Amino acid sequence: MTFSDPAVAAYVNENFVSAWHNRGPGFMNHEFGTEKSIFSYASEAYPTKNICTFFLTPEGKVFHYVSGYYSPDLFLRVLQTVMTLRSALFDESLRLRPQGLSDVRRAHAQSAKSIGETVAKARLWDAYSSWREFTAGYRTFTYRGETHTHTHQCAQSLADGLRYLASLHSRWTRVTELPDLEEVRYAYLSGNSFTEESEGSRTVEEPSHLAVAPLPRSPEPPPARPKEMKKKSEPAPTKVGAVKFPEGRSFAGVVLRGSAD
């Protein structure tokens, strides 16, 4: 549903060449009940290991990624952050700037700090009604005839996703060179361990080469989350170009457009 949102699709089409790589042979899921549950109770953010979107240079170097599913508004903010990272790293011809790596590390550090402050200011546990203020900047939306309505569970879902994004930005501050896709497609940071694997699939490991401590969680217990489902359909890709990816587990990938595209 994220990639089918008109605003997300337009932004991706304008700035990236996108491709979708599905799971290994035999994986198929048409079970709408699971999708409906996730849409209703965890639709703001679900940073699962199940899927990862990689942001690549035309040469196949990964300069950012995000694991899991995000609501259209939050994913648009992720994409806008990616474009900020692009400006720090590259010139208009997508050549690495002389100080690009140091500049992008600073950009990651600023994003981690800003996101962390956003979560800290939410006061989710000081007043039960604060979730309304926390989710106010995220529109409701419709998917396959179902209309999402914000609840306190959305605030917890959003907080989980933002904590993951802040932790991810913190890890990228340690990168001294951009990795190839093959280096990270089985070793990316995720916010939770839920995954759907075809038989014989290679598992995804935590990225030890980027290990840093995650942001601390609130000391109070979070509201009850829905039971993790074993099946979830993957969103349809936005097709604007063809990029060949290696065989293996599912992921989406977007490659930066150059100024001449």
Amino acid 21: pLDDT: 78
Residue 109 has pLDDT above 90, yes or no: yes
Least confident of 24-33, 145-154, 162-171, 236-245: 236-245
Amino acid 232: pLDDT: 45
Amino acid 63: pLDDT: 94
Amino acid 252: pLDDT: 57
Average pLDDT estimate for 239-246: 40
Least confident of 10-14, 96-100, 142-146, 224-228: 224-228
Higher pLDDT, 107 or 48: 107
Average pLDDT estimate for 39-62: 84
Q: Which residues of 214-237 are buried (b: 16+ CB within 10 A; e: fewer)?
A: ebeebeeebbeeeebeeebbbbeb
Residue 223 has pLDDT above 60, yes or no: no
pLDDT band with cut points at 50, 70 and 90 for residue 2: low
Amino acid 62: pLDDT: 94
Residue 249 has pLDDT above 90, yes or no: no
Higher pLDDT, 230 or 145: 145
Percent above pLDDT 90 for the chain: 30
pLDDT band with cut points at 50, 70 and 90 for residue 31: low
Residue 142 has pLDDT above 90, yes or no: no
Average pLDDT, the chain: 75
The tens digit of pLDDT for each residue in 188-203 reads 999 888 777 777 777 7
Nearest-angstrom CA–CA distance, 240 and 16: 8
Amino acid 173: pLDDT: 94
Phi and psi torsions of 141, nearest 5° = -155, 170
Least confident of 2-11, 45-54, 167-176: 2-11
